[in-house]
């Protein structure tokens, strides 16, 4: 219930010097008084003992800081109290149980940020950016999340919506008057403005694609025949001996995955089983899994070109491995000497850059991507402004799609999709 007072541990579990517990809701200050004995008020920062029960003031369970934030000047827009206690597994749990005894209940996943959204402290984009910042695996991903917190993408989409709405209003007006009364070059101006709007939508789509890669990571698969040098290359890129290297063919029978930062792009680097026909049931299963990973990959690093038929060229990066022994025309790489590793990383990053800017990728589940893609698809049909009725209907439909995206309304399903990604304390 939105009127409840909620509490949760906001810091990660495990051993640590300090743990933070967050309480939010109409009785947050009462909870602070019952747990710490402190008369809570706005702006209060006080070192105090914490008690499991208000009636047992001679037996504190810990000592720490009490911080109070009065509505609406808090993260959630409600009265908020933070208890800073000692870390570990026992003490934070005991302080949390004291908050429950004082009248709070356990917060749901993401409920603090959900309340911040419902109370107008954050937009949907900013709420999503909070978890993106927490989950960021590279500096580039963190910077993108901070831009989301600043509402950059939302402002860009709103700007497109405003231009589209203005053009739609002009066309609606034109429908109500005689065509001879229209300004000279009306149709030419409408076409030029529509072209500019579509260009802005494509740029917004590229931005969302890049954000999706930064948030989820790009699947980069090392693929090729047995003994092509996949495991050695993976170890060289990671800078550690993660995969077993052997002269014996078929050593890698299952995929090995590690995260890697490539020029700011978070990459899920996967070493796969060698692609070849085999009678060994275990190795055959490994080959099957390799083929499935190749089909899903954002980038396939093709070592030697064996078995890569049918893979899209725009996601395949052909290299010549073991160039210390044999060189070829193209990108020569040696895990042994390190030659070509920097160029390979740059080539992978360039491919991810191009994919982010591509207009051919199908819509992702993310609402902003889907909305921009659908609006652009509708506008691509508006190629004949002379038919004002059809032209106007298409503009109106695009306005409705983007209007929903910038927060004209929201549904329970939308809130569940956004805030279920959060941990309990956020």
Residue 251 backbone phi and psi in degrees, to 5 = -65, -45
CATH number at residue 47: 3.30.1360.120
- Asked if residue 54 belongs to a domain, the reply is yes
- Asked if residue 64 belongs to a domain, the reply is yes
Nearest CA to 76 out of 108, 125, 120 is that of 120
- Asked if residue 202 belongs to a domain, the reply is yes
Tokens, residue 399: 């306005």
Tokens, residue 235: 């170890």
Mean pLDDT of all residues in 386-395: 84
DSSP annotation of 107 reads P
Looking up tokens 């709070």 gives 104
Q: Residues 6 or more apart from 332 whose CB is under 8 A from it?
A: 319, 320, 323, 339, 340
CATH number at residue 331: 3.40.50.300
Q: Residues 6 or more apart from 322 whose CB is under 8 A from it?
A: 229, 334, 335, 336
Q: What is the DSSP string of 194-234?
A: HHHHHHHHHHHHHHHHHHHHHHH-EEEEEEESTTSSHHHHH
Rounded CA gap, 54 and 72, in Å? 28
Q: Are residues 35 and 66 in the same domain?
A: yes
Q: Contact 62/91 with Cβ under 8 angstroms?
A: yes
Tokens, residue 151: 């509402």
Q: Are residues 174 and 244 in the same domain?
A: no
Q: Single out the residue in 62, 87, 122 at which a domain terminates.
A: 122
Rounded CA gap, 212 and 365, in Å? 10
Mean pLDDT of all residues in 346-373: 73
Cα 80 to Cα 22, 97, 226, 282, distances in angstroms? 7, 17, 59, 56
Structural domain of residue 197, as residue ranges? 139-214+363-406
Q: Are residues 191 and 76 in the same domain?
A: no
Q: What is the pLDDT of residues 317-346, one digit of tens each?
A: 899 888 888 888 889 999 889 999 999 999
Neighbours of 365 (CB within 10 A): 8
DSSP annotation of 350 reads H
Q: Of the ranges 158-162, 168-172, 248-252, 313-317, which one carries the lowest mean pLDDT score? A: 248-252
Q: Are residues 221 and 346 in the same domain?
A: yes
* Structural domain count, the chain: 3
Q: What is the pLDDT of residues 159-201, one digit of tens each?
A: 888 888 888 888 887 777 766 667 767 888 888 998 999 999 9
pLDDT at 75 over 50: yes
- Asked if residue 273 belongs to a domain, the reply is yes
Rounded CA gap, 363 and 355, in Å? 13
Cα 390 to Cα 37, 169, 384, distances in angstroms? 69, 14, 8
């Amino acid at each position: 219930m939105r009127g409840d007072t909620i509490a949760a541990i906001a810091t990660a579990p495990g051993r640590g010097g300090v743990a933070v517990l967050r309480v939010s809701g109409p009785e947050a200050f009462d909870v602070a008084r019952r747990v710490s004995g402190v008369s809570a008020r706005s702006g209060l920062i006080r070192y105090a003992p914490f008690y499991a029960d208000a009636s047992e003031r001679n037996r504190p369970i810990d000592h720490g800081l009490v911080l109070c934030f009065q509505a609406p000047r808090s993260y959630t827009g409600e009265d908020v109290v933070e208890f800073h206690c000692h870390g570990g597994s026992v003490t934070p749990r005991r302080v949390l149980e004291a908050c429950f005894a004082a009248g709070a209940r356990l917060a749901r996943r993401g409920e603090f940020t959900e309340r911040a959204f419902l109370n107008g402290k954050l937009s949907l984009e900013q709420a999503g950016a909070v978890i993106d910042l927490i989950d960021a695996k590279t500096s580039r991903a963190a910077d993108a999340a901070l831009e989301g917190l600043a509402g950059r993408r939302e402002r860009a989409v709103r700007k497109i919506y405003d231009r589209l709405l203005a053009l739609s209003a002009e066309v609606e007006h034109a429908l109500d008057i005689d065509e001879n009364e229209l300004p000279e070059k009306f149709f030419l101006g409408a076409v030029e403005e529509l072209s500019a709007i579509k260009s802005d939508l494509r740029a917004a789509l590229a931005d969302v694609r890049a954000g999706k890669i930064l948030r989820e990571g790009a699947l980069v698969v090392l693929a090729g025949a047995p003994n092509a040098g996949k495991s050695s290359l993976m170890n060289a890129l990671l800078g550690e001996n993660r995969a077993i290297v052997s002269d014996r063919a078929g050593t890698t029978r299952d995929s090995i995955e590690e995260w890697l930062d490539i020029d700011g792009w978070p990459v899920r680097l996967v070493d796969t089983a060698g692609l070849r026909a085999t009678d060994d049931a275990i190795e055959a299963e490994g080959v099957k899994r390799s083929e499935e990973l190749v089909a899903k990959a954002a980038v396939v690093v093709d070592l030697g070109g064996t078995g890569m038929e049918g893979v899209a060229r725009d996601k395949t990066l052909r290299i010549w491995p073991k160039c210390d022994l044999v060189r070829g025309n193209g990108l020569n790489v040696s895990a042994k000497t390190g030659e070509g590793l920097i160029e390979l990383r740059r080539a992978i990053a360039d491919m991810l850059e191009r994919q982010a800017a591509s207009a051919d990728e199908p819509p992702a589940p993310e609402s902003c991507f889907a909305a921009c893609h659908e609006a652009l698809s509708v506008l691509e049909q508006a190629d004949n402004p002379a038919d004002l009725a059809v032209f106007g209907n298409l503009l109106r439909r695009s306005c409705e799609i983007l209007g929903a995206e910038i927060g004209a309304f929201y549904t329970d399903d939308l809130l569940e999709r956004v805030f279920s990604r959060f941990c309990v304390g956020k």
